[in-house]
Structure 1
């Protein structure tokens, strides 16, 4: 092990941690008008893309933890964005359906991506797409590869 192995300047994970926090802070004022959090926004974006999905499909699309998803859906239901209903064909399955209010909120949210893009003025569109590609690779690796810890 080198001396650099434990320095923050060499830690990819710390970069992701600080960027995730910065994104959350940057989104907060943009989401204020809708009175939602960033995780709630992620769920709504998935539903605006495809409505009336099962909770399982929503978990797969958003990669949000099941326990967190339950809390998010509870809040979105309380705020009248969605309804969680039993599937007509299988009562064990629950579907998430946008309410009229949730559908109308998409119009308000239309400006958010461009507003957020303005916060990333040092990143070109091409660099942004490259970042997405690289982050997806990191995510795929972390979800599929588990290295054994060196126990010596």
Structure 2
């Protein structure tokens, strides 16, 4: 005799998409931690550096938009990167309310040291590059739908 299907339990923790995302994010950050410590970066600092490695000379507003965060919350992070000699923060000559961010030579050099991080994450994930790409695309789609619901 087969066992009847379990009733839907919408408030069971293991049935929550939000918990799967949250707990996976925590685990991902744990995997990144030793890799980033070797570079002297925290995870949020790494995200900021990724943006700057793609597009040097952007404003605080632009990096905030790329990182999906509030510009005010970035100020301490950017000050720390500046203190480490990785970036410079300067007021725009055209509009002094705008702060422009530029990589220093040290910040550009750090990019070379970070090159191995994606392959380390791929190896640790246990997934293929194609599987990770598909998962990332699905998460970006979900994020877009959630942003549209705000």
TM over 0.5: yes
1:128 matched residue in structure 2 = 132
Q: Which of structures 1 and 2 has the bigger CA Rg?
A: 2
Please list the CA deviations of residues 112-136 of structure 1 after superposition, one character each: whole Å capped at 9, or x if unmatched. 1111111112x12221111111101
2:10 matched residue in structure 1 = 5
* Secondary structure of 2:89 counterpart: strand
- Confirm or deny that 1:145 pairs with 2:149: yes
Name the count of aligned residue pairs.
144
Please list the CA deviations of residues 5-24 of structure 1 after superposition, one character each: whole Å capped at 9, or x if unmatched. 10012100000110110011
What displacement does 1:43 show? Answer: 0.3
Please list the CA deviations of residues 64-108 of structure 1 after superposition, one character each: whole Å capped at 9, or x if unmatched. 333331121011111111111111222221111111110111111
Mapped to 1, the partners of 2:92 and 2:123 lie a distance apart of 41
- Confirm or deny that 1:33 pairs with 2:34: no
Mapped contact 2:56–2:102 kept (Cα < 8 A):
yes
Which residues of 2 match residues 92-107 of structure 1 at below 5 A?
92-107=97-112
Mapped contact 2:88–2:103 kept (Cα < 8 A):
yes
Mapped to 2, the partners of 1:33 and 1:59 lie a distance apart of 25
Structure 1 residue ranges (4+ consecutive) displaced by more than 6 angstroms after TM superposition: none
Mapped to 2, the partners of 1:109 and 1:103 lie a distance apart of 10
**Structure 1 gaps, min length 5:** 147-152
CA RMSD of aligned residues (A): 1.4
Mapped to 1, the partners of 2:132 and 2:95 lie a distance apart of 41
- Confirm or deny that 1:113 pairs with 2:92: no
**Structure 2 gaps, min length 5:** 1-6
What displacement does 1:109 show? Answer: 0.7
